[in-house]
Chain A
Amino acid sequence: MSDTFDFDGRAVPFEPGQTVGAALIADGVRSWRTTRGRARPRGIFCGIGVCFDCLVTVDGAPNRRACLVPATTDLPVRSQEGTGHDDLDV
């Protein structure tokens, strides 16, 4: 029985050392954010921390690179819309 993290309210399993992005892909999730301009779906692209395409909200902090953040049981992951900074909109 592997560990899991919370992704948008459901449990996603992960292996020790696996990144959030890798665990999501392994679980069949292909996209976890939408773009700022046209709300297009995005997930893993480069997979090595360069392209900033796989952004996701981790433990309330937006724009984490899913391909770099190690999955842990206590950090909830939320899919992200746009900048993820709606809190700053005025």
Chain B
Amino acid sequence: MVRLMTVDRLPEVVVIGAGVVGAACAWYAARAGLRVTVVDRGPVAGGTTGAGEGNILVSDKPAGPELELARLSVRCWRDLADAVEGFEYDPKGGLVVAGSAAALDGLRATASGQRERGVTATEVRPDELHEHEPHLADDLAGGMYYPEDAQVQPAAAAARLLRDARAHGAAVRPNVEVTGVLRSRDGLAGVRTSAGDVPAGAVVNAAGTWGGEIAALAGVDVPVLPRRGFVLVTEPLPPGVVRHKVYAAEYVSDVASDDASLQSSPVIESTAAGPVLLGSSRERVGFNRTLSVPALRRIAAHAVRLFPVLAGADVLRAYRGFRPYCPDHLPVIGPDARCPGLYHACGHEGAGVGLAAATGHVVARALTGHPPGTDPTPFLPERFG
């Protein structure tokens, strides 16, 4: 016997995943007039969203498809912050710093390509660095300032977007696990869940690091794997101690690396509440949640290298999460031609918060049959064959 999940009205779209990407998909789809139901096997922002820092960056993306998506996302987040308040949106700008002349050359080359795509990147001479960040180490080779970089509180962003989507007719069902898919002759016809079946014409896979499992339920291959990262949280510090999103030029090459062992480069930003977040580390160790003292030690040492003043700050706690990465380091976004009715919105690696808004926009445009604001081709799932 078929048991249907109890909802007021049957949805047209089921979004799997109540992280920031699923929330953005639900928000844009609901605002486009679609009836949306969001399900998540856990709570809102219970996965990687709740373990992130909340960065919206163009600065760390060299010219290419992901930069185009990031540029769109910067604009989309600005719109979201106007339409939906309460998630600490802060267009604080990003400062990428170089410790050596070679690293500075790399920054210049990256910025040159980004400028051709319309990104604002201003070189900062060593003697000007302190005008941007008074506590920065005084032996750096220079930096690049990106005024378009911004920050949000990711869990709050997911929650606020979902609340607003509900005000526009969406249903949000946490603690409901997808256990299978419903099929019709034409493709997917909904999902089977722990709370009953949910028939729907479209299914959005926004399951983040677990997106590969959802794809497998639908019989298609989407290779999303976990890349562990730790973040240290300091005691609250005065607002002026760290002003921008500040990170080292080496961060960009760390992200692009295919090395499985521990990589660490400093990424530092303050939060509205006062604590400063110190990242970052990258390791491919599956879903192992064990606290890694070597990783924490390196994050702390790197942070103090950039901001010597942090040596006197206490760390209150550390958290970890699992970035959803694909082998080609691009997210998986859009309709799956191998399985009509299935749409993907996962695999954003460490850029999920930043790219969430554009992802929601692109997915909603695909769901309603409209052209998106950027070329979606590089993100289509068929690239995995």
Contacts and interface: CB of A to CB of B under 8 A. Distances in A.
Contact of B135 (A82, A83, A86, A88): A88
Given A63-B236, A88-B238, 9 more contacts: A36-B236, A36-B274, A62-B235, A83-B236, A85-B236, A88-B240, A88-B241, A89-B238, A90-B241
Contacts of B313: 85
Contact of B240 (A62, A63, A90): A90
A88 B312 CA distance: 10
B316 A88 contact: no
Nearest to A55: B235
A52 interface: yes
Given A36-B236, A88-B241, A83 B274 contact: yes
The prevalent SS among residues of A at the interface is loop
B238 A83 contact: yes
B274 A90 contact: no
Contacts of A62: 235
Interface in A57-90: 62-63, 82-83, 85-86, 88-90
B316 A52 contact: yes
B134 interface: yes
Interface string B299-313: 000000000010001
Contacts of B316: 52
Contacts of B238: 82-83, 85-86, 88-89
Contacts, number: 33
27 contacts: A36-B236, A36-B274, A52-B316, A62-B235, A63-B235, A63-B236, A63-B314, A82-B238, A83-B235, A83-B236, A83-B238, A85-B235, A85-B236, A85-B238, A85-B241, A85-B313, A88-B135, A88-B237, A88-B238, A88-B240, A88-B241, A88-B309, A89-B238, A89-B240, A90-B135, A90-B240, A90-B241
A64 B240 CA distance: 22
A77 B237 CA distance: 20
Interface residues of A, number: 11
Interface string B127-166: 0000000110000000000000000000000000000000
Contacts of B235: 62-63, 83, 85
Interface string B237-269: 110110000000000000000000000000000
B15 to A, nearest CB: 35
A82 B314 CA distance: 15
Nearest to A86: B238
A52 B317 CA distance: 11
A89 B134 CA distance: 10
A83 B237 contact: yes
A83 B241 CA distance: 12
Interface in B219-237: 235-237
A52 B134 CA distance: 28
Contacts of A52: 316
Contacts of B274: 36, 83
B88 to A, nearest CB: 13
For A52, A62, A88, the residue with the greatest tally of chain B CB atoms inside 10 Å of its CB is A88
A84 B237 CA distance: 8
Contacts of A90: 134-135, 240-241
B381 to A, nearest CB: 44
A35 to B, nearest CB: 10
B240 A85 contact: no
Contacts of B237: 83, 85, 88
Interface string A28-67: 0000000010000000000000001000000000110000
B309 to A, nearest CB: 6
Contacts of A63: 235-236, 314
Nearest to B236: A83
B295 to A, nearest CB: 24
